[in-house]
Amino acid sequence: MVTILQAAFEQQEIEHLHRQITLLNNKLQEQSFLVKMTNILIKGHDLETTIKSILQLAMDITGSEAGCLYIADQNISQLKIVEVNGEISDALVEALSRLSQLLTNEELHKIVEITQNNSLFEYFAKLDNKLISLINVPLLTADNNVIGYAVVMHRHEAGHNHPSIYSSKDLKHLTLFAHQAALLLDNTRLKIEQGKKEIYIKTIASLISAIDAKDIYTQNHSQRVAKITVEFSKAMGLPGDIVEKLHYGALLHDIGKIGVPDSILNKPTSLNNGEFDVVKEHPVKGVRILAPMELDNIVLDIIKYHHERFDGRGYPNGLKGEKIPFAARIVSIVDAWDAMNSDRAYRSRLSQEQILTELEKGKGTQFDPFLAGEFIILLTKNFFN
Ligand SMILES: [Fe+2]
């Protein structure tokens, strides 16, 4: 009796131990999976490699035969396909890009498995007759924003014997994975954006010094116009992102002067008609020079239209009134103010009183009357000193 009891007890112990070992084993597997996943993801330093790694890994850990990855814009109604892995029909890739119209908002924020029991399955299977099941995995950032979706799927392929559904382990691994992947994707995107901005600012800085080096009479003119444009725009309550574009536009407004011969630019006496025609080309030349940089339209508007006049007698297009872009109307005033406030070879700088008279005269002729009025008020308060 004792022996039977002892044997049963030992059997229980062994089973218990066995369960413990299995649990431990699973935990170890999970740990090594996490380490492997993190290592692969960290290696991807550019956006393309990161996207490829994320999709490959999502497929590897679930044993999927195919997958695709979409990036979401500001809102998740716009999905852009960025990577396809395996044999998926174009029609299915296209249909999956419209997920936001097919799933509820709640479903779009969690992992959704679409199997034969799901009403959507039939729709997708019609587009790909080898489809067995698929999982849609949202790539969620820490603040719960969807930045994209990875879709992995089981498909019938010759010589393979696939499970028809994903296991709970697959789903658990995907949940862990999706958070890491989203974090990494978001960071890589931010790093690229930041990098672009740095290159952009450095390019602008070198272009500005190129203009300054060329025109001996207007040294630092661009920087001064940019500084006052920013102060003026802020005082009028314009939002920060617009002020930033006005800043770049003002810095670059005369960039086209790089294309004007020094003999004309630095001529100490008045220009003849032919010479003035060459100078008048600088706004258009500026836009042409900067075309490869794909600058924002506000920046380009400033460069192209800062010599337009409110009465339509300006250049290059003779635009009139509010047809002249708003940003260009602002910079036009600051540009004129700095010219009057600086010494030239043929005249000394104007007094504050003379400048105010000129600006007042220019209301509605050279300048936008409202903006010129605002500028005059700030100038009389010595706002820009
Ligand atoms: Fe100019």
Q: Cα angle vertex 175, ends 170, 181, to 5°?
A: 115
Q: Which of 162-166, 171-175, 250-254 has the highest mean pLDDT?
A: 250-254
Separation of CA 381 and ligand 1 centre (Å): 27
Contact in structure between 369 and 309 (CB atoms under 8 Å): no
What is the side-by-side order of every strand in the sheet holding 131-140?
A: 79-85, 66-72, 146-155, 131-140, 112-114
What angle (nearest 5°) sits at the alpha carbon of residue 89, between those of residues 97 and 50?
60
Can you give the residue range of the structural domain that contains 347?
215-380
**Residue 28 domain-assigned (yes or no):** no
364 and 232, same structural domain?
yes
Q: Which stretches does DSSP call E strand in the chain?
A: 66-72, 79-85, 112-114, 131-140, 146-155
Min mean pLDDT across 187-201, 265-279, 336-350 is at 187-201
pLDDT of 41 higher than 60: no
Note the pLDDT tens digit of each residue in 50-71.
888 889 888 888 888 899 999 8
CA–centroid distance, 336 to ligand 1, in Å, is 9
Residue at 330 is within a domain: yes
262 shares its domain with 348: yes
- Tens-digit pLDDT profile for residues 98-108: 888 888 888 88
Alpha carbon of 306 to ligand 1 centroid (Å): 6
Tokens of 77: 């109604």
The answer to whether residues 154 and 238 belong to one domain is no
- 337 and 236 co-located in one domain: yes
Number of domains in the chain: 2
> Above 60 in pLDDT, residue 31?
no
Residue 39 has pLDDT above 70, yes or no: no
> Ligand 1 centroid to 322 CA: how many Å?
19
For residue 10, count other CB atoms closer than 10 A to its CB: 10
Q: Which of 190, 207, 237 is the last residue of a domain?
A: 190
- Give the pairing of strands 112-114 and 146-155: unpaired
Residue 45 is predicted with a pLDDT of 63
DSSP 348: P
163 and 295 part of one domain: no
Cα 252 to middle of ligand 1, angstroms: 9
Q: Cα torsion at 111, 113, 117, 123 (round to 10°)?
A: 100
CA distance 172 to 150: 15
In a domain, 179, yes or no: yes
- Say how many Å lie between the CA of residue 239 and the centre of ligand 1: 25
Residue 199 Cα, ligand 1 centroid: separation in angstroms? Answer: 25
Q: What is the pLDDT of residue 385?
A: 76
Domain CATH number, residue 50: 3.30.450.40
pLDDT tens across 326-357, in order?
999 999 999 999 999 988 777 889 999 999 99
Distance, CA 262 to ligand 1 centroid (Å)?
A: 15
